[in-house]
Amino acid sequence: MNCLEFRRRCLAEPGHRGHEFLQHENECEECTRFATEMKEFDSRLSDALRIDVPAGLEGRIKRRHQGLKPSRPGPHILSLAASILVAVGITIGVLYVAVQPQPLQAAVRDHIEKEWESVVKNDEMDAEATAAVLSNIGGMTRDDEGKIKYASLCDFSDYGSVHLVVEGQKGPVLVLLMKEKHVAKANFMAMSMPGGGRLEGMLTLTSNGSMAIVGQEGEELHTVGEFVRDAVFWVL
Q: Is the pLDDT of residue 150 over 90?
A: yes
Instruction: Give the CA radius of gyration of the chain.
Output: 23
Q: What pLDDT, on the 0 to 100 scale, is given for residue 67?
A: 60
Q: Which pLDDT value is given to residue 101? A: 44
Per-residue pLDDT of 100-140, as tens digits, reads 445 888 899 999 989 999 999 999 999 999 999 999 999 99
**Rounded Cα–Cα distance for residues 147 and 230 (Å):** 12
Confidence of residue 1 (pLDDT cuts 50, 70, 90): confident
Instruction: Kindly give, in sequence order, each residue whose CB lies less than 8 Å from that of residue 34, ignoring residues fewer than 6 positions away.
Output: 6, 7, 10, 207, 233, 234
- Give 225-234 pLDDT, tens digit per residue: 999 998 998 8
Alpha carbons 76 and 158: distance in angstroms, whole number:
39
Give CA 102 to chain center in angstroms.
17
Phi, psi of 69 (to 5 degrees): -70, 120
Q: Which pLDDT score is estimated for 34?
A: 79
Q: Give burial (CB, 10 Å; 0-12/13-18/19+) of 216.
A: middle
Stretch 138-162: mean pLDDT: 90
Question: Residue 143: is its pLDDT beyond 90?
Answer: no
Strand partners, 151: 164
Return the pLDDT at 236. 73
19 band by pLDDT with thresholds 50, 70 and 90:
confident
Q: How confident is the model at residue 94 (pLDDT cuts 50, 70, 90)?
A: very low
pTM (whole model) above 0.85: no
pLDDT tens string 50-87: 655 566 666 666 666 666 554 555 555 555 555 555 55
Query: Residue 23: what are its φ and ψ, rounded to 5°?
Result: -65, -45
Strand pairing report for 232-234 and 209-216: unpaired
Looking at the predicted structure, is the pLDDT value of residue 142 above 80? yes
Quickly list DSSP for 146-157: --EEEEEEE-SS
pLDDT at 211 over 80: yes
